[in-house]
Structure 1
Amino acid sequence: MNDFKTVKESQVVISELMLPSHSNFNGKIHGGYILSLLDQIAFACASKHSGKYCVTASVDTVDFLKPIEIGELVTMRASVNFVGHSSMVIGIRVEAENIQTGQRKHCNSSYFTMVAKDQEGKSVNVPGLILQSENEIRRFAKSIKRKDMKKKRSKEFHETDFSSHEYHDILEEYKVQIRKNS
């Protein structure tokens, strides 16, 4: 295994024409179908970087920005944005193109945390990352920030008392009715 790899060495690009069978009841491409494709490309990118079988540890962010239409060509670009000991953050950009007009739109940005595993299912070390551009450095730094924010959010969530008496006044600001059963 190489000790370090460039971001470019592990990049993966896939394109797929969106069919009526991929649509939801509103005639747009179903978000679940896009999530399935995102998981596949994250696996491919992480496995390409690590040279190992990889599993999805978490889906940190999935921002659906614009709907995807039947007949559009969807292109997903995946890159390793961050590496830890056995984990990798895979950043994925999704664009849809109207193949008749050539008009493109950014539809989704996602961040998947993938973990490299050996044949026994134990986590294994992955190669480091060679950063060669300001954009790659920015993506790595943003991944560190996202990771730190996730830790803080998790810690706060576990330390907060969510009993109803603590939140009763706050809940009244929202569209909710409280009806306690006796």
Structure 2
Amino acid sequence: MMSVKSQIYLCSVLLTLLLAFTNCSKKTPEPEIKYIPGEITVWTKDDTSIEKTFDFINEFGLPIERLTGILMYHSTLSNDSIDYVSDYLKAKPYTDNGKIFTTVYISGSGDPHIGVSPQLFNMHSLENQKDWLDTVTKLKLVLRTESILDSFTLRIRVPIGSEKSWLKKMEKHDIVELAYQSYE
């Protein structure tokens, strides 16, 4: 049975194909997919812990360009602590690369709480991994499991030309939901 994430991915591919076929009469060229040489993307299965994700990263010893979690955490700190949480995360050298950064927000649905969507860089560093685990504890961050987006996405650097062999290795791993060559 396909997971919700795989179903969403499949639907987006099918929708893209449908749009391509309905526009066949137009003479506009198809935009070509520009793959990023030496980079693959891996989605973990739903409910994969950050600890298991770090174990996965450390197993292969490859540079992690970015580890992303969309709507991943909520804090049990009071909502008036949002500035503290935001400032604490901004001070981390691995939560912002100058273009993309970790987002802190107040969730407006149901029971409002502080939410954190992490964008973590250089997470192949054991020091950064340990610091993130300490940060999760200090900020009382709890991994959300009620969202369909409760998994991590990793952009991983691999030697150019070895993308397909790395994808095969990744796809066999028990925490991997989906693996593909990264594109722009």
TM band (smaller chain):
under 0.3
> For the pair shown, which has the larger CA radius of gyration, 1 or 2?
1
User: Greater share of strand residues, 1 or 2?
Assistant: 1
Higher RCO (CA 8 Å, separation ≥ 6 residues): 2
